[in-house]
Amino acid sequence: MQSLLTARIWRGGSDGAFVTYEVPRQDSQTVLDVVTWVQRALDPTLAYRYACRVGMCGSCAMTVNGRARWTCRTHVERVAPHGILDIAPLANLPVIKDLTTDMADFFDKWTKAEGRFQGAATRRQDFARVAPDSRQRRAVDAAIECIGCGVCYASCDVVNWRPDFLGPAALNRAWTLVNDVRDIALRQRLRAVAGDAGCHSCHTQGSCTERCPKNLAPTSAIAGLKRVTAQAAMRRKL
Amino acid sequence: MTGDDILLQARLWWWQRTSAMALAFCVLVHLGVIIYAVHAGLSAASLLGRTRGNVVFGAFYTLFVLACAIHAPIGLMNVAREWLGWRPRPVGWLAAAFALAIVVLGLRAVYGVVVA
Ligand code: SF4
Ligand code: SF4
Ligand code: FES
């Protein structure tokens, strides 16, 4: 006989509630597989997001047994050894319906943190040459693989208690650009990420780094921003 | 948030970080001094005999006091702003008063064992 898994899935908006479903257990089953099975076999009105199913697009993050995770690469056996799975929408974001959240704030903050590359070169110029082992290039490499999943943002206590805090992902993005030698908007970006809504509010406790599924370290990116903004401020260049 | 506030915060962070480095050094030396004093079983009179007129001792503890006077009020400021939701201006006054208290009490103690 096939064993069953008890999945309690959040239904409704922010005032919704968990609804319990019995889902057949399978080998190598992911949390996303569970949600998909519920939608296909039991209730087609269940709303959730995913796209790539291989950990690239960043759209499938949810709260799984109390922790934000990417669901397409989270195996049931690893997070629910006793066969009980609570699946809720990401925290710190408004719930639209069921497992989908409104991520507008999250991405707007990337814009507020000057997360857009601004170069000076034209297409007629040759490629910029950046030595792979230079200090700045290495700092970029360490932070660039963000998939924008929002796991860090949902795990950050500071985001929870001060809604204007830019959050780990946007600050991590800004850090990659601060270290991009081709970028020309350094000063403006440092001003955007300094202060109460920016890097100075981070408590350096590292929930973001602990939970990031890509093993990035927004905490160190933020520490880097604090360092660079302080140096700029002491040289009257902020 | 105003531009001045950003500049101030970034500078305060620099001062707090720099004073933290000084404190890390000072606390270690201070612990060493305590252990030395206790192991040597020194009396108050013989302690004072060693500290009076000791310029190095005086300079070291003056640095220690100043590092505390910079570091602690900045931390207190952050707590008051974040947890109590105080505005920057009253927080600034509170921090300045606290810094002054540390400087006065600390330097008075240094004066007491080195000069008086
Ligand atoms: S380290 Fe900073 S950004 Fe990361 S979770 Fe903690 S407070 Fe948030
Ligand atoms: S930093 Fe990590 S957790 Fe945060 S959005 Fe990027 S990939 Fe997701
Ligand atoms: S579905 Fe794309 S990262 Fe999970």
Task: Please name which ligand lies nearest the alpha carbon of A146.
Answer: 2
Q: Which of A101, A149, A173, A208 best tests ligand 2's pocket when mutated (most atoms within 8 Å of CB)?
A: A149
Distance from the B67 Cα atom to the nearest Cα atom in chain A, whole angstroms: 18
pLDDT of A65 over the 80 cut: yes
Confidence of residue B88 (pLDDT cuts 50, 70, 90): confident
pTM for the model stands at 0.91
Domain annotation for chain A: domains and CATH numbers = 4-101 (3.10.20.30), 104-234 (1.10.1060.10)
Report the topology of domain B3-114: 3 helical TM bundles of succinate and fumarate reductases (1.20.1300)
- What average pLDDT is seen over chain A? 96
| ipTM score | 0.82
**DSSP annotation string for A119-182:** B---TTSPPP---TTSHHHHHHHHHTT-----HHHHH-HHHHH-TT---HHHHHHHHHHHT-TT
Q: How far apart are CA A46 and CA A34, in angstroms?
A: 12
* Cβ-Cβ contacts under 8 Å, B5 against chain A: 195-196
| Protein residue with its CA nearest to atom 3 in ligand 3 | A55
Tell me the one-letter amino acid at B46.
Answer: S
Q: What share of chain A is helix, strand, coil (3-state, %, to 5)?
A: 35, 15, 45
pLDDT of A63 over the 60 cut: yes
Q: What is the pLDDT of residues B91-113, one digit of tens each?
A: 999 999 999 999 999 999 999 99
Measured from the CB, is residue A52 less than 6 Å from ligand 3? yes
Q: How far apart are CA A85 and CA A9, in angstroms?
A: 8
Q: What is the pLDDT of residues A183-238, one digit of tens each?
A: 999 999 999 999 889 999 999 999 999 999 999 999 999 999 999 999 999 998 88
- Chain B residues 77-116 within an 8 A CB cutoff of chain A: 81-82
Q: Which of B19, B13, B25 is nearest to B102 (CA)?
A: B19
Distance B83 CA to ligand 3 centre (A): 37
Distance A50 CA to ligand 3 centre (A): 5
Confirm or reject contact between B10 and chain A (CB < 8 A). yes
Does B51 or B103 have the greater pLDDT score? B103
For the segment A121-135, the average pLDDT, to the nearest whole number, is 95
* pLDDT score of A195: 86
The ranges assigned to domains in chain B are 3-114
Distance A69 CA to ligand 1 centre (A): 16
Residue partners of A76: CB distance under 8 A and separation at least 6: A5, A25, A29, A30, A31, A33, A34, A85
Confidence of residue B50 (pLDDT cuts 50, 70, 90): confident
Confidence of residue B41 (pLDDT cuts 50, 70, 90): confident
